Amino acid sequence: MKEIAVDSEDFERQTMPLRAGLLAHCYRMMGSAVDAEDQVQETYLRAWRAFHDFDGRSSVKTWMYRIATNSCLNALSSAQRRLLPSDLGGGPGDPAAAITPREQQPWLEPLPEAMMWQDAAPTPEEQLLGRENITLAWTAALHGLTPKQRAVLLLRQVLQMSAAETAETLDTTVASVNSTLQRCRAAVGDGLGETGADRADDDEDAAAVDAFVNAFERHDFDAIVSSMAGDVRWQMPPFDRYYIGNQDAATLSFTHCPANEAGDLRFRRARSNGQPAVGMYLRKGDQWEAFQFQVLQVRNGKISDVVGWFEPHHFRLAGLPLVLE
């Protein structure tokens, strides 16, 4: 069969401005930035192959999101849902007790903002679109739903597709879409609509992160406690417990973190999931090596939630170096 040529310039002009939004959508579906990027690549490959058949019955945006959604659903057909330690059930852990990794559990991962804008600087409208509904808390809530429920909620509530468009995308009925949407709204609750973008340049966030970073760099227990809210939640996948309270969070760090004195830790700022983030580096000889990538939440001038990951690739995805001299 003769292959039909596709106008590459026309394809790129119509589809490439959608990339950041597609990445955010695939991340919400997959719960992993790496998996989301894979699905975005798969979406563009499928769209390229089918572009000559695109008949304009829907917008290019709707068509691309339809491809992306079904690509994600195919990938999720045999996958375990991604969790945070607080989703496993049970109460908070004892910060002085041994910590146990659960290596076989697929964990929810962050989406560093550096991944969103790989080329030209985004407009404010593009930034808002890319950041909508990707806070860690809401993404974790999404992953309490089945993949198809997740798709319905995202297509209808976030992307504002009609019930008919959603039904066509998912090969189901309008009635099924509407009933599924009601169940999803009840399950996810108030997290819907969080963007994390409203405070992207907020001085209060910056001051709270500075206090948190400075306290850890000084290895000052009391300052660490003071930098966090009294009910702060601390999680570190793949370790399977979560911890509640600033005293427990500080005790956890002083008990299990290899840092022993001022200067053992250094930090670099970043952003992820529409929230402040930091790369934590641990001193090894004359340099500091990537240790933990943390996504932070700020409430009333204090750090109120910390989720940290130890894999170096999170630093790379955030545009952070692996070693500080």
Can you read off the two tokens belonging to residue 217? 């760099």
Rounded Cα–Cα distance for residues 216 and 230 (Å): 17
Residue 273 belongs to a domain: yes
pLDDT tens digits for 209-232? 999 999 999 999 999 999 999 999
Note whether 23 and 167 are same-domain residues.
Answer: yes
How much is the pLDDT for 191?
Answer: 53
Model pLDDT for residues 7-29, shown as the tens digit of each residue: 788 899 999 989 999 999 999 99
Could you tell me the CATH number of the domain that includes residue 250? 3.10.450.50
- Per the structure, the count of domains in the chain is 2
d(C-alpha 297, C-alpha 303), whole Å: 6
**Is residue 16 located within the same domain as residue 71?**
yes
Q: How far apart are the first and last CA of the chain?
A: 58
Residues 229 and 182 in one domain: no
Quote the strand ranges of the chain, DSSP E. Answer: 228-235, 242-244, 265-272, 275-284, 287-299, 302-309, 323-324
Instruction: For residue 255, count other CB atoms closer than 10 A to its CB.
Output: 13
Q: Are strands 323-324 and 302-309 parallel, antiparallel or unpaired?
A: unpaired
| pLDDT recorded at residue 112 | 95
In-domain check, residue 233:
yes
Query: Is position 91 within any domain?
Result: no
Determine, yes or no, domain membership for 16: yes
166 strand-pairing partners = none
Same-domain pairing of 113 and 21: yes
What is residue 123's predicted lDDT score, i.e. its pLDDT?
67
What confidence tens digit (pLDDT) does each residue in 39-70 have?
999 999 999 998 888 877 788 999 999 999 99
pLDDT for the residue 204:
86
Provide the domain limits for residue 245.
203-324
Same domain, 149 and 231: no
207 and 114 co-located in one domain: no
For position 30, which CATH number holds? Answer: 1.20.140.160
155 and 208 within one domain? no
Is the domain of 186 the same as that of 208? no
Answer yes or no: do 154 and 212 share one domain: no
> Do the domain assignments include residue 294?
yes
173 and 302 part of one domain: no
Among 191, 218, 242, the domain boundary falls at: 191
Whether 3 is in a domain gets the answer no
- What pLDDT, on a 0 to 100 scale, did the predictor assign at position 118? 64
Q: Are residues 172 and 216 in the same domain?
A: no
Question: Which residues of the chain register pLDDT less than 50?
Answer: 1-3, 197-198, 200
pLDDT at res. 187? 87
